[in-house]
Amino acid sequence: MSNSILQYGLYLLILVILAIPLGKYIGKVMNGEKVFLSKILMPVENITYKVLKVNKDEEMGWKKYGLSIIIFSLIGFIFLFLLNILQGILPLNPENVDGTSWHLAFNTTSSFVSNTNWQAYSGESTLSYLTQMLGLTVQNFVSAATGIAVLFALIRGFIKVNEKGIGNFWVDMTRITLYILIPLSIIVSIILASQGVVQNLIGYEKIDLLQPITLPDGTVITSQIIPQGPAASQIAIKQIGTNGGGFFGTNSAFPFENPTILSNIIEMLSILLIPVSLCFTFGRNVKDKRQGIAIFAAMFIMLTASLGVIAVNEHIATPQLSQSESVDTSSTDKQSGGNMEGKETRFGIASSATWSAFTTAASNGSVNSTLDSNAPLSGMMEMLMIQLGEVVFGGVGCGLYGMLAFAILAVFIAGLMVGRTPEYLGKKIEPFEMKMAVLVCLSTPVAILIGSMIAAMVPSVADSLTNSGAHGFSELLYAYSSAGGNNGSAFAGFNANTPFINVSLGLIMLFVRFVPMMAALAIAGSLAGKKKVAATVGTLPTHNALFIGLLIMVVILVGALSFFPALALGPISEFLRMIGGK
Amino acid sequence: MKTIKSILPKALIFFLIATIVCGIIYPLLITGISQIFFKDKANGSIIEVDGKKYGSELLAQQFTDDKYMWGRIMNIDTGTFKDENGNTLMYACPSNLSPASDEYEKLVAERVEKIKAANPEKGDTPIPVDLVTCSGSGLDPDISPAAAEYQIERIAKARGISTTQVEEIVLKYTENRFLGIFGEKIVNVLKVNLALDGILK
């Protein structure tokens, strides 16, 4: 037990220690300052601008910035959709998989373009190597870069005074991809391959089993399949870019996707590395480090709380599993114990619970254990972290711009209490910013509640559930939460590959990705055009404990009020039945 | 409309560059590096002895014989992969069952009965939890040292060898925590069984 606590503490500590210098590095890159990679990468950067015919000092207004995102995403969408449908007749397909159905293609495409990476597909049996490389890996990079770009547009909105421009989308995309995502992905993928993550272009192997299996119906199975593919390169960016879509169906629980505890540590820290760093970058680039630390603190407190709830519930296991002590669920030096259903032995409870907390706090959505088999309250916590709007670090870029919208909401509420015009970082917050901030904050709850409501009324959806009763409802609610938070993890017993579910989830993912994104850009554009107001004694400080508390309260208030009824029907009722023994 | 016209070529070219760099050059570069430096690992960690392949050390096989060490409960997937002749190839998937349901309670009770019956030497000793649960991938290659110990007497008896001999093999294929802190101690089931059969030495 004490070993587990040590692991939790060290994971959080290492994460923050790595994030502080990376945050500084990202800040420099995005301002065009010199960094240690500039010597090698600057020529590549300049060639890219030349080919694109982009003047790197030309600034875009928020509308042009937004339109560039829409057009660029649309091109990616069309390309990936066609790739999915046509993969059967395209090269690099050693297993001869067919093109996917139109609705699965629509779902997968929406999912990757929106940085959600929900898996209605199972990589090893439905996608060709070409689709994985040219389609999914590319979207993993560019959808992550887009999220980060919008964050920097918003940060510039706070810094600039009486200006129209909020940066150049192509310059931002080039810098993020070239200086941040590619170098990190190369390092991570090489470490992963050294641990046993597959990275090749050969076909699947068939190998004889040591002991043939006889099935209950008498069939004898004598060989097994060993899947292959260019996995390490994709898994690295799926973790770093908070994408989360696995190369294999069971994601990072699959031994070829996450073979050792070292690969697990690297993948797990990669989930939150950039989102945490960006908090520090934010403070640095608005020239008030305390502001970044305050946002970081609010997020970190919520992350730790979530981790605590998940860890305790998984270590305890359930009465149904421990069978009045016939099963040994204790934590000792020789076994991890706890609720091992859906968990890998090499990770045990500590590394699985930490992963589950990280992946739902960030909108990553990769898993190293099956969340569907978590204890009821752990499942609730994971769902709640998504339902809060993916602002507890959240997705790369989008998590922080989501949280800044909550910060605007918080100063507005505080402003109402004392009767002053609210301001944040020296900019007056007026009705236009408030409307847009509300759009950012409420898109997720509205999409989740309406989506799951409609799905609950469609009779065919019931056939998709693996579990019955309250847990069955949780599976459905989780699916629509995951899409509505652009998370992508699942209670994977939910069979999502049906036309209705594929299309409805796809539409939700696109809605919650692009509506808040455009609203954040609108805020950026509006703020950039304003003058700075000097802080006075009447200004609400936004870097102290009071503000951190206020921010957490606003986030929880929006989440808890919206979702308590739904959670009561799912995980809470399951929990009560569990402890009641009925 | 004018703005769209000015954005479109830039968007197309940037997408093309990203596809070439991130979708072709990057994965091929990593494939090249992996194939040069970690060939075996990057090709599935296959255990090969005297030219015969015995499986991947990272993917579980199912063992039910008394003379073999058993792994995690496997949820065999017979639908996904077939060979050229239409024979089923073994694969597995997680259960995705809630561990708090009545159905689950019954399922575990059956597993407990079966394991107790196969290990009469252990009497009413509680069964290590990883032996009665399905893993996250369905193909977890390891079990805990506690779960391995639980089976030592059965294996020794079935093979007519001493428990010390089995213990030595188990110990040989037990891996410690990373840096003594991270993860859990694990025993690789396939390697132990290959060693018991005298294939791995």
Q: Has residue B72 been placed in a domain?
A: yes
Q: Has residue B10 been placed in a domain?
A: yes
Per-residue pLDDT of chain A (582 residues; tens, 9 = 90+): 789 999 999 999 999 999 999 999 999 999 999 999 999 999 999 999 999 999 999 999 999 999 999 999 999 999 999 999 999 999 999 999 999 999 999 999 999 999 999 988 888 899 999 999 999 999 999 999 999 999 999 999 999 999 999 999 999 999 999 999 999 999 999 999 999 999 999 999 999 999 999 988 888 999 999 999 999 999 999 999 999 999 999 999 999 999 999 999 999 999 999 999 999 999 999 999 999 999 999 999 999 999 999 999 999 999 999 988 899 999 999 999 999 999 999 999 999 999 999 999 999 999 999 999 999 999 999 999 999 989 999 999 999 999 999 999 999 999 988 888 899 999 999 999 999 999 999 999 999 999 999 999 999 998 999 998 899 999 999 999 999 999 999 998 999 999 999 999 999 999 999 999 999 999 999 999 999 998 888 888 999 999 999 999 999 998 878 899 999 999 999 999 998 864
Cα A301 to Cα A306: distance, rounded to the nearest angstrom: 9
Rounded to the nearest angstrom, the minimum Cα separation between A445 and chain B is 26
Q: Is A378 on the interface with B (CB under 8 A)?
A: no
Same domain, B54 and B115: yes
Q: Is B73 on the interface with A (CB under 8 A)?
A: no
Average pLDDT, chain A: 95
Asked if A249's CB is within 8 angstroms of B129's CB, the reply is: no
Domain of residue B186: give its range: 44-196
Question: What pLDDT sits at residue A546?
Answer: 94
Cα A562 to Cα B3: distance, rounded to the nearest angstrom: 40
Rounded to the nearest angstrom, the minimum Cα separation between B162 and chain A is 22
Same domain, B65 and B7: no
Asked if A223's CB is within 8 angstroms of B83's CB, the reply is: yes
Q: Has residue B136 been placed in a domain?
A: yes
Of B42, B65, B177, the CB nearest to A199: B42
Return the beta strands (E) in A166-266 as ranges.
Answer: 205-214, 220-226
Asked if A339's CB is within 8 angstroms of B112's CB, the reply is: no
Q: Has residue B19 been placed in a domain?
A: yes
**B34 neighbors A200 (Cβ within 8 angstroms):** yes
Mean pLDDT to the nearest integer, B33-41: 97
Same domain, B79 and B164: yes
- CB proximity under 8 Å: B 113-152 to A: 124, 126-130, 132-147, 149
Question: What pLDDT sits at residue A418?
Answer: 83
Rounded to the nearest angstrom, the minimum Cα separation between A425 and chain B is 32
Residue of chain B whose alpha carbon sits nearest to that of A492: B96
Q: Is A64 on the interface with B (CB under 8 A)?
A: yes
Q: Has residue B201 been placed in a domain?
A: no
Most B CBs within 10 Å, among A60, A210, A266, to test the B interface: A210
Question: What pLDDT sits at residue A485?
Answer: 93
Cα A366 to Cα A117: distance, rounded to the nearest angstrom: 9
ipTM: 0.96
Asked if B96's CB is within 8 angstroms of A342's CB, the reply is: yes
Question: What pLDDT sits at residue A22?
Answer: 98
Q: Has residue B24 been placed in a domain?
A: yes
Asked if A177's CB is within 8 angstroms of B101's CB, the reply is: no
Q: Is A55 on the interface with B (CB under 8 A)?
A: no
Question: What pLDDT sits at residue B2?
Answer: 85
DSSP 8-state code for residue A486: T
What's the one-letter identity of residue B17? I
Residues of A in contact with B58 (CB under 8 A): 196, 255-256, 259
Domains identified in chain B, total number: 2
Rounded to the nearest angstrom, the minimum Cα separation between B171 and chain A is 12
Q: Which helix (H) or strand (E) holds A120?
A: none
Same domain, B31 and B128: no
Rounded to the nearest angstrom, the minimum Cα separation between B79 and chain A is 11
Same domain, B64 and B77: yes
Most B CBs within 10 Å, among A222, A324, A346, to test the B interface: A346
Asked if A221's CB is within 8 angstroms of B149's CB, the reply is: no
Same domain, B27 and B79: no
Residues of B in contact with A319 (CB under 8 A): 105
Give A419's contacts (C-beta < 8 A, 6+ positions apart).
Answer: none
Q: Is A577 on the interface with B (CB under 8 A)?
A: yes
Of B19, B30, B178, the CB nearest to A261: B178
DSSP structure string for A290-353: HHHHHHHHHHHHHHHHHHHHHHHHHHH--HHHHTTTTEE----SS---S--TT--TTTHHHHHH
DSSP structure string for A51-113: HHT--TT----HHHHHHHHHHHHHHHHHHHHHHHHHGGGSSS-TT-PPPPPHHHHHHHHHHHH
In the structure encoding, which two tokens stand for residue A55, read together? 């003047």
Same domain, B56 and B122: yes
Same domain, B31 and B130: no
pLDDT tens digits along A250-277: 999 999 999 999 999 999 999 999 999 9
Question: What pLDDT sits at residue B129?
Answer: 97
pLDDT tens digits along A413-468: 999 888 888 999 999 999 999 999 999 999 999 999 999 999 999 999 989 999 98
**A411 neighbors A427 (Cβ within 8 angstroms):** no
Same domain, B141 and B54: yes
Mean pLDDT to the nearest integer, B153-161: 97
Same domain, B118 and B182: yes
Same domain, B30 and B112: no
Question: What pLDDT sits at residue A309?
Answer: 97
Asked if B186's CB is within 8 angstroms of A194's CB, the reply is: no
Asked if A376's CB is within 8 angstroms of B100's CB, the reply is: yes
Question: What pLDDT sits at residue A581?
Answer: 64
SS3 annotation, chain B: CHHHHHHHHHHHHHHHHHHHHHHHHHHHHHHHHHHHHCHHHHCCCEEEECCEEEEECCCCCCCCCCCCCCCCECCEECCCCECCCCCECEEECCCCCCCCCHHHHHHHHHHHHHHHHHCHHHCCCCEEHHHCCECCCCCCCEECHHHHHHHHHHHHHHHCCCHHHHHHHHHHCEECCECCCECCCEEEHHHHHHHHCCCCC
Mean pLDDT to the nearest integer, B174-184: 96
Asked if B23's CB is within 8 angstroms of A135's CB, the reply is: yes
Same domain, B89 and B132: yes
